[in-house]
Amino acid sequence: MSDEIGGSRRNSMELVGAKAGTAMPVEMRQALNLRGLVPCSVENFSKQELRAYEQLMAKSTNLEKYEFLAILRSTHINLFFRLVIRHFKEIAPIIYTPTVGEACLSYSHIYPFLYPFRTSIGMFITLDDVHSIDVVIENYCLSMIEMVHPEIAVVTDGSRILGLGDLGVNGMGIPIGKLQLYVAAAGLNPRRTLPITLDFGTNSKRYLNDPLYLGTREERPDDETFEDFSTDHAFGLLDQWRDKALCFNDDIQGTGCVILGGFISAVEQAGIPPHDQRILFMGAGAAGVGVAKQIMDYFMIEHNIPEDKAKAMFWFVDSHGMITANRGDKLAQHKVYFARHDNGNMQCKDLEEALEYVKPTALIGLSTVYKAFNEKILTRMNEINAKARPIVFPLSNPATKEECSFEEAMRCTNNRVLFASGTAFPEYTIPETGELRVPGQGNNMYVFPAVGLGAVLCKPARITDTMFYAVSKALANSLDEEEKSLGELYPRIERIRQISAELAAALIVQAVREGLVKDQHWLDIVKNSMPEVMDEGGKADGCFSRRVVGEVKTLMWSPPDSVEQYIVEAMTAIDPDDV
C-alpha cells in the first residue's frame, strides 16, 4: 500500500472504485495497486450501459432478467438506474408488475443469490423486533456506508400482493420494486429509500410447508393480538394514519388517482358534454364504488354538477343484476349510496339488460369476470354511442380476470373506443390502415412516484384527497397534442420523468394552496410565481408554474454522467472532509 494513502481513504477509494468498475480511472487503479490485475480498458459509463443491456437482453426469461437486474442493483447502483431510466418502458414491467410478482412467489429460493449476504436492502421486522425497533433502526443506520437518512419508505406486510395472496416475507420484492420506480420515474435519491417488510407470519400453507421459506414460520397474529397491523384493514389503517403521519396508500389512493386521470382525459375527448355522461359499472365491490365516488367528485368539483345530479349519472350491476333500491335483496352498506330509485318496476338481471336500459356512454369493469365485455356488449356500446366515442375501461386484474382486451374493444367499436385497462395490453395495428394504437393502462406507477417526490420535497403536514385530485388533473393535462390526436388517455411511459416532475409540481402547489406547507423555500416559489392561484384558496385544478416544475426538476436525482462526477459525489458522500 502506498504511503500517501491512509487506511480509511484507501477503503473509501476501494468502495467507490468497485462501483465504478471498468470505468475506474488509471490513477485510481495505480493507487489501489491494481495494475496488471484488471483488464486495461478504461471505459465510460455509456459503454458499461451497452454491455449491461446486451447481457440483459441475452436472458431468456423475465425472471432471469429480474435476477440479473437485482444483482446489478446490489453491485453497480448507478449503472442499474442508468439502464432503468434509459429503457424504462422495457424494464419497468420486469422490476415491477408483472415480473416482480413471479419473483416474489419464489423469493425465498432466489434471495441469497440476488444480494450478497449482509447487503443492506431494507428492513425485515418480525413481531419480536417490534419491541426493540430501536436496535433494528440503529443496525440499519450502521449498515449504510454513506451517512444519509432515508427520506421515503415503502412498507408491506406481504399479505395481499398483486392478487397473488399472502406471500409473507416473500413480499419484500414489492417495496424494493416500488422504490426502484420512485427513483427511476421520479428522481428520488436511491440511497435515501427504505423498503420495509413486516414479517409477522403467513397464512399461506404453501410457504409454511416450504423448507426454504425465509420468513417467520407461523400463522399471522389475529386482529385482537395485533390490531394495528391487521392485514385486512388497509382502508382503516389509511384513515387512522393519514392525518398523523406523512403517508399514503399507493394502491388505494394511487390507483384511484390514475384511473380518474384517464377518465378525465376520456371525458374531454369523448365528444359530448360531461353532464351528459351515463356511466355503467360492472362490479360494485370496494374498487367499483371507490372509483365511482372519485369520478363523481370530478363532475362535482370540475363541472359544478350538484351531488344528486352527479350521483344520478352512475348505474351499477353486480352478480344479482342492476343495483336498485327495490331489487328485493338487502344491499351491502357500500352499495346503498348508488342504488337507483328512479327505475320504477324495472329490474335488469345482468349487464346485457342493463346496457339496453341505461344506454351508457362509459362502461367500467371492476367485476373480476373474464371477458364479461364480450363482442355483443362491445358492439352495442359502439352502436349506442354512434355520435360520441364510447369509453370502455376493463379494469379488473390480473389478465385472467380482465373484462376484455384492447384488440377486442378496438375491433368491436370500429377503432373508436377510448380505452384504459387494469392489465397491460400490446399495441394494436389497425388492419385496414396499418396505423398503430397504444392502449391506456391505469397503472398506478404514473402517480405514486410523483406523489412521493412532491411530498418529500415540500413536506406537507399531510396528503389530502384534493392533492390527489390535483395530481389526477395534472396527469390528464400532461397529454401532448400527438397523444391526444391518437385518442390516448395517458402520456407515453417514455416521458415518465417529465410527467412525474409535473405531477409533483401540481401536488406541491396544491399543498401550498391548502396551507399545509411550512417550508419557506416552496412557499416563496409558489406564491411568487403563481400569485393569482393563491387567491383561489384550496381549489384543485392541477396547475403549476414553469418555475415550480423547474425547481422540482433540479432536485430530481439522476445517476452521474461521467466517472469524474461520480467519484467526487461518492467520495463526498462517504467522507466530506476527505475528497
Question: Which residues are the active-site residues?
Answer: 96, 178
Residue 286 in contact with ligand NAI, rule: CB under 6 A:
yes
Residue 323 in contact with ligand NAI, rule: CB under 6 A:
no
Residue 369 in contact with ligand NAI, rule: CB under 6 A:
yes
Nearest C-alpha neighbor of 152 from the set 455, 462, 446: 455
Nearest C-alpha neighbor of 213 from the set 223, 225, 221, 205: 205
Nearest C-alpha neighbor of 177 from the set 166, 165, 164, 162: 162
Binding mask 373-402 for ligand NAI (x = CB under 6 A): ----------------------xxx---x-
Residue with cell 423469493: 107
Question: Least distance in Å: CB of 153 to ligand NAI?
Answer: 23
Q: Which of 21, 25, 221, 285 binds ligand NAI (CB under 6 A)?
A: 285
Q: Which one, 181 or 501, has the nearer CB to ligand NAI?
A: 181
Local structure of 239: helix, strand or coil? helix
Q: Which of 366, 377, 467, 505 binds ligand NAI (CB under 6 A)?
A: 366
Q: Angle 62-75/77-86 helices, nearest 10 degrees?
A: 130
DSSP state letters, 332-390: PHHHHTT-BS--TT----SHHHHHHHH--SEEEE-S--TT-S-HHHHHHHHHHTSSSPP
In this structure, are strands 391-394 and 362-365 parallel, antiparallel, or unpaired?
parallel
Q: Which one, 193 or 396, has the nearer CB to ligand NAI?
A: 396
| The 3-state secondary structure of 132-145, one letter per residue | CHHHHHHHHHHHCC
Question: Least distance in Å: CB of 365 to ligand NAI?
Answer: 8
Amino acid at residue number 508: I
User: Which 131-170 positions form the footprint of ligand NAI (CB under 6 A)?
Assistant: 163
Contact segment (CB under 6 A) with ligand NAI among 24-32, 194-202, 262-270, 312-320 equals: 312-320
Residues 6+ apart with CB under 8 A from 269: 389, 418, 484, 487, 489
C-alpha cell at 141: 443506520
C-alpha cell at 22: 471498468
Question: Least distance in Å: CB of 422 to ligand NAI?
Answer: 3
Question: Least distance in Å: CB of 366 to ligand NAI?
Answer: 4
Question: Least distance in Å: CB of 287 to ligand NAI?
Answer: 3
Q: Which of 282, 348, 381, 496 binds ligand NAI (CB under 6 A)?
A: 282
Binding mask 234-253 for ligand NAI (x = CB under 6 A): --------------------
Residue 178 in contact with ligand NAI, rule: CB under 6 A:
no
Q: Which of 79, 83, 174, 287 binds ligand NAI (CB under 6 A)?
A: 287
> Which long-range contacts link 336-342 to residues 24+ away (Cβ below 8 Å)?
337/289, 337/293, 337/311, 338/284, 338/289, 338/292, 338/311, 338/314, 340/315, 342/312
Q: Which of 12, 180, 367, 413 binds ligand NAI (CB under 6 A)?
A: 367
Contact segment (CB under 6 A) with ligand NAI among 89-97, 227-235, 283-291, 476-484 equals: 283-291
Q: Are 384 and 263 in contact (CB under 8 A)?
A: no
Contact segment (CB under 6 A) with ligand NAI among 110-118, 187-195, 364-372, 450-458 equals: 364-372
Q: Which one, 408 or 551, has the nearer CB to ligand NAI?
A: 408
C-alpha cell at 175: 417495496
Alpha carbon of 455 to those of 19, 245, 539: distances in Å?
Answer: 30, 12, 19
Q: Which one, 79 or 496, has the nearer CB to ligand NAI?
A: 496
Question: Least distance in Å: CB of 246 to ligand NAI?
Answer: 24
* Rounded Cα distance, 37 and 473, in Å: 56
Question: Least distance in Å: CB of 575 to ligand NAI?
Answer: 45
- Exposure string over 459-479, b if 16+ CB within 10 A, otherwise e: bbebbbebbbbbbbbbbbbbb
Residue with cell 502506498: 2
Nearest C-alpha neighbor of 257 from the set 523, 506, 545: 506
Q: Are 571 and 516 in contact (CB under 8 A)?
A: no
Residue 336 in contact with ligand NAI, rule: CB under 6 A:
no
User: Which 409-448 positions form the footprint of ligand NAI (CB under 6 A)?
Assistant: 422, 442
Half-sphere exposure of 410 (CA within 13 A, CB side): 23
Contact segment (CB under 6 A) with ligand NAI among 88-96, 225-233, 367-375, 552-560 equals: 367-375
> What DSSP element (H or E) covers 474?
helix 465-477
Number of residues that bind ligand NAI (CB under 6 A): 23
Q: Which one, 185 or 287, has the nearer CB to ligand NAI?
A: 287
C-alpha cell at 129: 423486533
Binding mask 84-123 for ligand NAI (x = CB under 6 A): ----------------------------------------
Residue nearest ligand NAI (C-beta atom): 285
Q: Which one, 249 or 466, has the nearer CB to ligand NAI?
A: 249
Question: Least distance in Å: CB of 171 to ligand NAI?
Answer: 17
Q: Which one, 322 or 548, has the nearer CB to ligand NAI?
A: 322
Question: Least distance in Å: CB of 391 to ligand NAI?
Answer: 15
Partner residues linked to 365 by β-bridges: 282, 394
Q: Which one, 193 or 367, has the nearer CB to ligand NAI?
A: 367
Q: Which one, 319 or 326, has the nearer CB to ligand NAI?
A: 319
DSSP state, 325? T
Q: Which one, 216 or 396, has the nearer CB to ligand NAI?
A: 396
Question: Least distance in Å: CB of 320 to ligand NAI?
Answer: 7
Residue 318 in contact with ligand NAI, rule: CB under 6 A:
yes
Q: Which residues bind ligand NAI (CB under 6 A)?
A: 163, 255, 259, 282-288, 317-319, 366-369, 395-397, 401, 422, 442
